[in-house]
Amino acid sequence: MESFTNDERFVSAINELFNERIPFNRVLGLKVESISYEHVRASLQMRNELMGHYKRGMLHGGAISSVLDVTGGLAAFMGVQQKISGEVLETRLERFGRVNTIDLRVDFLRPGIGKRFVATAYTLRTGNKVAVTRIELHNDQDDLIAVGTGSYIVA
């Protein structure tokens, strides 16, 4: 995992929260690959449980939307973290529970065909109460499968 701060405890705590403590992320099989103030990358492996079109082996649109939402939410959280980076660890982590989706727009560009998918999100704007993120989902052939824009409450 890419380090963006000297606080390895913070990076480890975010990794545990995202990868282990959120049951839905475990259902998706979503794992953080890299995290920084500038962007977040998370990936998942294709599994039968995530398939939407069994004949074509396509990732379900609901799974795609969920991956975009979750990754965008983590990017929104990191946007807030940049603003409060001087706070103590517990205060910084407490903000994780305040991030909630207001709106998510998804554009499906290609069928979700692949063995592995990577979502990359970055913050377009982080205000005092709302953050807006942009998210892209690529397959293992680096085809752009879907893009999304998410708005999140961060206060």
Q: Which CATH superfamily is domain 8-153 in?
A: Hotdog Thioesterase (3.10.129.10)
SS3 state of residue 35: strand
What is residue 2's predicted lDDT score, i.e. its pLDDT? 42
What is residue 54's predicted lDDT score, i.e. its pLDDT? 86
| Mean pLDDT computed over 52-75 | 95
100 contact partners, CB below 8 Å, separation of at least 6:
152, 153
| Mean pLDDT computed over 13-26 | 88
What is residue 86's predicted lDDT score, i.e. its pLDDT? 80
What is residue 13's predicted lDDT score, i.e. its pLDDT? 86
> Is the confidence at residue 53, as pLDDT, over 60?
yes
Mean pLDDT of the chain: 91
What is residue 131's predicted lDDT score, i.e. its pLDDT? 97
74 neighbors 101 (Cβ within 8 angstroms): no
58 neighbors 111 (Cβ within 8 angstroms): yes
Name which of 6-10, 80-84, 87-91 the model is least confident about: 6-10
Confidence of residue 1 (pLDDT cuts 50, 70, 90): very low
What is residue 10's predicted lDDT score, i.e. its pLDDT? 79
> Is the confidence at residue 95, as pLDDT, over 90?
no
The predicted model scores a pTM of 0.89
Amino acid present at 29: G
What is residue 19's predicted lDDT score, i.e. its pLDDT? 85
> Among residues 42, 39, 62, which one has the least CA distance to residue 112?
62
